[in-house]
Amino acid sequence: MTINQSGWRPEAPRDGADATPATFTGNKALMLEEPLIFELGGSDRTGVDLPAPPSVTPRLGGLERARPIGLPGLTEPEAVRHYTRLSRQNYAIDLGLFPLGSCTMKHNPRLNERMARLPGFADLHPLTPVDGAQGALALIHLVGTWLKTLTGMAGIAMSPKAGAHGELCGLLAIRAAHEARGDARKVILVPESAHGTNPATAAFCGYAVQAIPATADGRVDLAALTARLGPDVAGVMITNPNTCGLFERDMIAIAEAVHAVGGYVYCDGANFNAIVGRVRPGDLGVDAMHINLHKTFSTPHGGGGPGSGPVVFSEALAPFAPLPFVEEQDGRFVLVEEETASAAHHEQAFGRMVAFHGQMGMFVRAAAYMLSHGADGLRQVAEDAVLSANYILRSLEDVLEAPFAASGPCMHEALFSDANLAPGFTTLDIAKALIDEGFHPMTMYFPLVVHGAMLIEPTETESKAALDQFIGALRSVAERARAGDATLKAAPIHAPRRRLDETAAARKPVLVWKPAPLADAAE
């Protein structure tokens, strides 16, 4: 083990044949180790040359800081290197294929970024009077119109800031619609395969969540759903295409049954990429659906955002949609901020979701994406995304069990399970070995209805060559796991960190840096 100048220790190599010899620095060729910035820069140093502050008479009543603030002091090159080295430890869509299922990690065209940085959009103050913001309002209106057209829906709320926020918006509109009739319903039905945000949103709105089982072919069990319906059911939350990568063929029958008991249909539209331009959810009886602009409409995501989750509404729910909204009146765009200002569609608005209009930068990116693809291009997005996923499904189903392969073609994502692996080998081993192959792992253990699930969404932006390389890597790893190759258990062996104790990291995260104990720090 090496202790370098700053007192920071690179990770010790593990025992065993797979261990690569340690280097003095902990670096592995171009893969550079990097300590915390506090370990790197002592608080006794500084990278800038500031004059001593003039003496002032404190007016803080004795509350002024008595000790140094403890910020690390780095020279400019040290600071630049620190952040550059950290950035190299990220996996990114600009580096390689990102197979995370349900996330639609597609390439983000640079044109979008150029447009979002136009000063007229980027520097506009949210309180600019509407006469000075006509271009921005026109753009919000344009994106909203495209989304309503693509989904076949009557109303839209542009302001929600992510998918989960959109779910909240949709369920608050459903609740407002029931309350307006004096009908305090208590139950929301959610399929077992739903994304965790669905039951969380329903519970947050005060509803009791009840699970709807799936059929053996991975879809919502229509008979079980209809059997559970009744006057206490406020609505259902259905993901279509669902998280098993399958189209819910019974969607119209589901919607008719829910409407017959006075409930509403919320559709989780996170998977819209598979059907955009091909299917209009409004034609399937959906009452509210969020659209993750940061998935289907390409804006970058991961690493914490930003997101944008506009919600489209049916005729029945549109009057309850939140404020504010943009409207075109006599060739001008107005921002309707109060319930009384306009009767059109929002006369019973349930309130606001956010202080201002939503994520303007995301709207600009989505508009650039829509306009550069055109309607025919967006349809091709869905077709190519589905083709890519089916290519992966059919190329690997001989080595990995594909639980719903018999249910017909998949939509935009391919689902595999750990059923075919040698005893003791799991989905985790496959994911860790993919890191050694230079890929971000797929989504693991989701959806929960499939044991050891591996959910792979290649998106339409990968070339056949890139898909073939990924398929080759996954095939090689899967064959090792089927053969019981013990070296797989050590993976990843080429990564800067090996297998971490993920449970401890989640349960006992170390979020505060503490200076090293004196014995270590003394030099």
Residue 331, classified by CB atoms within 10 Å of its CB into exposed (0-12), middle (13-18) or buried (19+), is exposed
166 versus 322: smaller Cβ distance to ligand PLP: 166
- Restricting to residues 358-387, which ones interact with ligand PLP according to CB under 6 A? none
Distance in angstroms (rounded) separating the CA atoms of residues 353 and 355: 7
Out of 112, 151, 159, 197, name the contact with ligand PLP by CB under 6 A: 197
Q: Quick count: other Cβ atoms within 10 Å of Cβ 207?
A: 23
Q: Give the interface segment with ligand PLP, choosing from 57-65, 219-227, 267-275, 311-319 (CB under 6 A).
A: 267-275
C-beta of residue 223 within 8 angstroms of C-beta of residue 176: no
Out of 141, 185, 195, 357, name the contact with ligand PLP by CB under 6 A: 195
C-beta of residue 476 within 8 angstroms of C-beta of residue 432: no
- Output the smallest distance, CB 162 to ligand PLP, in A: 4
265 versus 421: smaller Cβ distance to ligand PLP: 265
Distance in angstroms (rounded) separating the CA atoms of residues 263 and 287: 10
Residue 35: both structure tokens together: 């300590």
- Output the smallest distance, CB 167 to ligand PLP, in A: 7
- Restricting to residues 470-509, which ones interact with ligand PLP according to CB under 6 A? none
Binding to ligand PLP by CB under 6 A, coded x per residue (else -) over 282-311, reads ----------x--------------x-x--
- For residue 96, what are the contacts with CB-CB under 8 A and spacing of at least 6? 438, 439, 440, 466
Out of 139, 171, 172, 270, name the contact with ligand PLP by CB under 6 A: 270
292 versus 390: smaller Cβ distance to ligand PLP: 292
268 versus 401: smaller Cβ distance to ligand PLP: 268
Give yes or no for a cis peptide into 306 (omega within 30° of 0).
Answer: yes
- Output the smallest distance, CB 511 to ligand PLP, in A: 22
Closest residue to ligand PLP: CB criterion: 163
Distance in angstroms (rounded) separating the CA atoms of residues 188 and 462: 38
Out of 34, 221, 248, 268, name the contact with ligand PLP by CB under 6 A: 268
C-beta of residue 320 within 8 angstroms of C-beta of residue 176: yes
Considering the rule CB under 6 A, would residue 459 count as an interface residue with ligand PLP?
no
Q: How many residues bind ligand PLP (CB under 6 A)?
A: 14
Distance in angstroms (rounded) separating the CA atoms of residues 359 and 79: 31
- Restricting to residues 6-25, which ones interact with ligand PLP according to CB under 6 A? none
- Output the smallest distance, CB 164 to ligand PLP, in A: 4
Q: Give the interface segment with ligand PLP, choosing from 268-276, 402-410, 457-465, 469-477 (CB under 6 A).
A: 268-276
Out of 193, 243, 298, 443, name the contact with ligand PLP by CB under 6 A: 243
Question: Nearest to residue 358, comparing CAs of 160, 78, 147?
Answer: 160
- Output the smallest distance, CB 161 to ligand PLP, in A: 8
Binding to ligand PLP by CB under 6 A, coded x per residue (else -) over 132-171, reads ------------------------------xxx-------
Residue 269: both structure tokens together: 């539209």
Distance in angstroms (rounded) separating the CA atoms of residues 426 and 143: 44
102 versus 388: smaller Cβ distance to ligand PLP: 102
- Output the smallest distance, CB 284 to ligand PLP, in A: 17
167 versus 327: smaller Cβ distance to ligand PLP: 167
- Output the smallest distance, CB 24 to ligand PLP, in A: 42
C-beta of residue 240 within 8 angstroms of C-beta of residue 407: no
Q: What share of the chain is helix, strand, coil (3-state, %, to 5)?
A: 35, 10, 50
C-beta of residue 480 within 8 angstroms of C-beta of residue 488: yes
- Output the smallest distance, CB 59 to ligand PLP, in A: 46
- Restricting to residues 29-58, which ones interact with ligand PLP according to CB under 6 A? none
- Output the smallest distance, CB 301 to ligand PLP, in A: 7
- Restricting to residues 200-239, which ones interact with ligand PLP according to CB under 6 A? 239
C-beta of residue 221 within 8 angstroms of C-beta of residue 213: yes
- Output the smallest distance, CB 505 to ligand PLP, in A: 21
Considering the rule CB under 6 A, would residue 412 count as an interface residue with ligand PLP?
no
Give one DSSP letter per residue of 417-486, joined into a string.
BSTTSPTT--HHHHHHHHHHTT----EES-STTSTT-EEE---TTS-HHHHHHHHHHHHHHHHHHHHT-G
**Identity of the residue numbered 374:** G
- Restricting to residues 80-119, which ones interact with ligand PLP according to CB under 6 A? 102
- Reading phi first (left if > 0) and then psi (alpha if -120 to 50, else beta), residue 26 is in left
* Chain residues that interact with ligand PLP, rule: CB under 6 A: 102, 162-164, 195, 197, 239, 243, 268, 270-271, 292, 307, 309
